Structure 1
Amino acid sequence: MQPGSEPIRSVRNPLVQALRRLHRPSGRKEQGLILLEGTHLLQEALAQGLRPRQLLATPDWLARHGALVERLPDPGRLRIASPEVLAAAATTGHPDGVLLTLESADLPAPAEATPDFVLVLDRLQDPGNLGTLLRTALAAGVEQVWLSEGADPLQPKVLRASSGAALALPIERLAATDLPGRLVAARERGVQLVAAVVPEAGGAAQPYWELDWCRPTALLLGNEGAGLAPTLARLADRRVTIPHSPAVESLNVAAAAALLLLERPRQAHGRPGA
């Protein structure tokens, strides 16, 4: 297979400039596209049945990934570029030789039906944390993710940190003023609202394993520094905590989320040997 068009040799090429604009939220919104970097994310996109809008690859990458190139649904969208040109279009310091774009509208959208398991993130700021959380959420069987502002889930760093999970999860980003109403509506449809708090927090918090996670559940996790907004915490039906040594004040939100989210499938399947 021969990629279409002449190789791109200038960083001033219009395609390269369009890809660079996808580094910013305004560019992603304007073009309706997201930027993915690296072989693994290309593999994940194809596994999800997503059709790349545009691909940019170096000659060396093409020589090493012929079988993957043959899987492309539209090979004519592939353009060859020098390593210098590809690096100019990428957000990473050492790209592995391929970039691609996807249409935002092709990503999974939240279904109208009431979900059984929702992850609610309040103003999470760190893209690495968000990406890790999305990967754990997918592993735990989360059906929807609701974000109250915070980091953009479609920025390249989040997509890399999620290892492609952001391409498979229905994610909805809400204004902070809209989230309380969404949670109240979910509770009226039988979803329990569960807030994670630090062990010494006041109120009737219980160890997380004592909660019945098999019920329809929305887990609420707060900002890395300030925690869960008081308006959201007051809506919670249950407060859970992860008991740990007082040597540390609190756990990293992504580390805490792994224990909390995976408790649901653990309860559903039982302990090994039980």
Structure 2
Amino acid sequence: MGKNIVALMMQEYESFTRSERKIADYVLEHQQETQYISITDLSAECEVAVSTVSLFCRKLGLAGFNDFKLELARAALPAVPEASQSSGEITWEDSTGQVMGKVLHAAQDALNNAYHMLSETALERAADLIQRARQVVCLGQGNHSVVALAAWAQFSTTSPKFKTIQDSHMQTVVLATLSPEDAVLYFSYSGATHEVLEAAEVIRNRGARLILVTRYLNSPASAYADTVLLCGPNEQPFQFGSSSALMAQLYVVEVLLSEFIRRDPETAERSRQSVGKALTKKCV
């Protein structure tokens, strides 16, 4: 793209429809905030349909809303690197020690934000669904498949009803055979990918329960969820799955696991004792 996205919006402003001008006006006034907002939230702020936002992005020659956010972030990049000692941003002028400190503070902030974002009511609802479920499938895509794997590894020591699948085709197979007694614990930062929406549709059709761990309460996938566990920092468009977002989701996993064990400590302890004895045979 030749011109940056801000300049292009201003150049094309007169050709926009009334609804598209609402979007442009909001973005021009909230350039920083728009980099972190979901397409659903932007449509709500501008009082236009989600499809209008998508058409607006394509009218600017972009593939979609995520592409739009990338260009918006690119337009905001400084021409010359600037030192930032107080904001926590890592710069080329930082020493190794400063990088270590800033990463530590970012991790602490991510966990603190996750604690404040997580709803006690939503967590109790999730624990209820997991406790009653015949089986619980832990799923995620991309970086979040790692969190799903970690969740399964943790929960599987307490009960045999937990499973995970990494291959996308096998995920579809498992989802297509769910029953109303089953639950899915799905990790998705945006809650707005094709994969999570396709999975949510299958889960709903099978009558199973969906527990969604995401950053955005009003994400498209949230409409399918029986409960939504909010967590995660504001990711910059160029981060493509930050470690802070993964840490926030792992915090939710740990809290949910602790609540699950608290409700039936005897069963969890028996399972963990059995797992522990088996694993000791693998130690040298």
Same-fold status (TM-score > 0.5):
no
TM-score (norm 1): 0.30
So what's the TM-score if we normalise by structure 2? 0.30
Higher helix residue share:
2
Structure that is richer in strand per residue = 1
